[in-house]
Amino acid sequence: MSTTLDTTFAALSDPTRRAILAMLLEDDMAVTDVAEPFEMSLAAISKHLTILTRAGLISQEKRGRVKWCKLEPDALRDATIWMQGFGQFEAVNLDAFERFLEKELDG
């Protein structure tokens, strides 16, 4: 479980990746749509998506010629269980998580 947590928290440590997760809370998105709001190359966004995929936070699938990204709803389960072990964290509420991400990105 330690490796899974390390991978999850490493993926969440980057503001671009957190922004991508916030975007995917709304709906599945094509990779090109994910890349659109960022001032970086498609290759750079693809690297971020690969990290999120390896962490299990998102999945990617090809539909025709287009690669789509989807948020994995149970992806934060291990991290949530680990944090609950400290007794001071509540279960992750995706709505609250989205508000947190939006606040972080705006701040």
Q: Residue 87's pLDDT band (boundaries 50, 70, 90)?
A: low
Q: Residue 92's pLDDT band (boundaries 50, 70, 90)?
A: low
Instruction: Decide if 35 contacts 19 (C-beta within 8 A).
Output: no
- Containing domain of residue 59, as a range? 2-106
Averaged pLDDT for residues 76-87? 78
Q: Which of 6-15, 48-57, 71-80, 93-102 has the lowest mean pLDDT?
A: 93-102
53: left (phi over 0), alpha (psi -120 to 50) or beta: alpha
Query: For 12-54, what is each residue's pLDDT tens digit?
Result: 999 999 999 999 998 999 999 999 999 999 999 999 999 999 9
CATH number assigned to the domain comprising residue 65: 1.10.10.10
Domain tally for the chain?
Answer: 1
Strands (E) in the chain, as ranges, are 29-30, 58-63, 66-71
Q: Residue 89's pLDDT band (boundaries 50, 70, 90)?
A: low
Between CA 42 and CA 34 the distance in angstroms is 9
pTM of the predicted model, to two decimals?
Answer: 0.76
Nearest to 21 by CA among 44, 84, 29: 29
